[in-house]
């Protein structure tokens, strides 16, 4: 009872190291240099603090509440990601709170500021927009918070989980071209989405590898909602001549909006129009017809994010940032066929 419980923050500040490093010393991780270890141990001795009290305080410092800030809760990729995150973190006694920003940069900034006052144990953030300052994220990282970004952030070092969008969309484009499609719409995400930028890159590379021209009017930006996808598709199918024979969609939600527009106009999938989605959310397999799509494995991605958080909290990794990548794969179902002879370019 005589000894005072010290916080890991005090030790970290006094020894001039990060909190993750203090945690690593206490857990006897091998990557810690002898010098750093001595510095931390020395400080503890000086102050007559007991290691077991500090070990207790570790669990207090690293709260097991994790805040998740994502864009659009109506996108099944996000709900499957959150489900996966909660499944993996829940098993280890964590509590996951989520907030969605509706893809608004301002909401994201406010959300992280609000969450900061709760002293959470970690953050998982899907940054809403590229090209806007990331000070609100950098601030948390600089404060030593455990933060995992969904998708790497240009010019900012952070833990991240992502997947190879470029290659995935290049392969999907190639798949369509091999089946005779040349007028392929790339229904891409918002101008500010880094995912959209990568996927457009893959689409363009796919066309170029077959020496096909790039028609900019076929790259159409839509936000992440059924309504926007639906409106854009109706317009394209009504106005573009010759009519495009295939749609490469930003995600499965957008692919569903293409289905909706095509059904309404009496355009058959895949007889008159081929469609490829992105993500392979649970619903993809049960659309009529089942959707050919690029699987991005949101639950596996979530498992990586959970493991990064747990490893860092347990001092189980060397300092520096961790990036984990999944490899998307095209799942062939029934929404792609050869274009009708009359439509072939």
Q: What is the binding site for a copy of itself (CB under 8 A)? A: 65, 67, 73-74, 76, 79-80, 82-83, 86, 90, 95-100, 102, 107, 110-111, 114, 118, 226, 256-257, 259-260, 263, 282-283, 285-290
Q: Which is nearer to a copy of itself, 168 or 287 (CB)?
A: 287
Please provide the DSSP assignment of 45-84 as one string: HHTT--HHHHHHHHHHHS-SEEEEEES-TTSHHHHHHHHH
Q: Which is nearer to a copy of itself, 93 or 341 (CB)?
A: 93
Nearest to 13 by CA among 39, 51, 46: 39
Q: Which is nearer to a copy of itself, 39 or 136 (CB)?
A: 136
Backbone angles phi, psi at 206, to 5 degrees: -60, -45
Q: CB of 126: closest distance to a copy of itself in angstroms?
A: 15
Task: Give exposure, 49-71, as e/b (b: 16+ Cβ within 10 Å).
Answer: beeeebeebbeebbebbbbbbbb
Q: CB of 80: closest distance to a copy of itself in angstroms?
A: 7
What's the half-sphere exposure (Cβ side, CA atoms, 13 Å) at 310?
A: 16
Q: CB of 28: closest distance to a copy of itself in angstroms?
A: 31
Q: CB of 267: closest distance to a copy of itself in angstroms?
A: 13
Q: Which is nearer to a copy of itself, 65 or 152 (CB)?
A: 65
Q: CB of 237: closest distance to a copy of itself in angstroms?
A: 15
Q: Which is nearer to a copy of itself, 65 or 156 (CB)?
A: 65
Q: Which is nearer to a copy of itself, 25 or 236 (CB)?
A: 236
Nearest to 290 by CA among 273, 272, 271, 269: 269
- Omega of the bond leading into 187 within 30 degrees of 0 (cis): no
Q: CB of 307: closest distance to a copy of itself in angstroms?
A: 20
Pairing of strands 329-331, 292-295: antiparallel
């Amino acid at each position: 009872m005589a000894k005072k419980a010290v916080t890991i923050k005090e030790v970290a500040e006094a020894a001039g190291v990060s909190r993750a490093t203090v945690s690593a010393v206490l857990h006897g991780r091998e990557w810690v240099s002898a010098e750093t270890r001595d510095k931390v141990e020395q400080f503890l001795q000086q102050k007559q603090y007991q290691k077991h009290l500090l070990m207790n305080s570790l669990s207090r410092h690293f709260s097991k509440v994790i805040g998740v800030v994502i864009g659009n809760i109506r996108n099944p990729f996000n709900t499957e990601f959150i489900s996966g995150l909660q499944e993996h973190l829940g098993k280890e006694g964590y509590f996951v709170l989520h907030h969605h920003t509706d893809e608004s940069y301002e909401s994201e900034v406010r959300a992280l500021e609000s969450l900061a006052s709760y002293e959470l144990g970690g953050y998982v953030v899907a940054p809403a927009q590229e090209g806007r300052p990331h000070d609100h994220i950098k601030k948390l990282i600089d404060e030593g918070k455990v933060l995992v970004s969904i998708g790497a952030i240009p010019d900012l070092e952070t833990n991240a989980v992502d997947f190879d969008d470029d290659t995935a969309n290049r392969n999907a484009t190639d798949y369509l071209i091999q089946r005779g499609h040349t007028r392929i719409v790339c229904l891409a995400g918002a101008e500010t989405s880094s995912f959209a930028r990568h996927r457009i890159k893959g689409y363009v590379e796919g066309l170029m590898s077959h020496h096909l021209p790039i028609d900019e009017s076929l790259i159409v930006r839509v936000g992440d909602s059924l309504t926007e996808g639906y409106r854009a598709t109706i317009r394209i199918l009504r106005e573009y001549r010759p009519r495009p024979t295939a749609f490469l969609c930003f995600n499965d939600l957008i692919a569903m909006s293409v289905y909706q527009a095509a059904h309404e106009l009496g355009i058959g999938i895949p007889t008159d129009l081929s469609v490829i989605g992105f993500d392979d959310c649970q619903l993809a397999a049960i659309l009529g017809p089942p959707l050919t799509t690029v699987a991005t494995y949101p639950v596996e991605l979530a498992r990586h994010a959970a493991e990064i958080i747990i490893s860092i909290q347990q001092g189980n990794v060397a300092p520096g940032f961790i990036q984990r990548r999944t490899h998307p794969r095209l799942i062939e179902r029934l929404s792609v066929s050869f274009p009708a002879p009359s439509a072939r370019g």
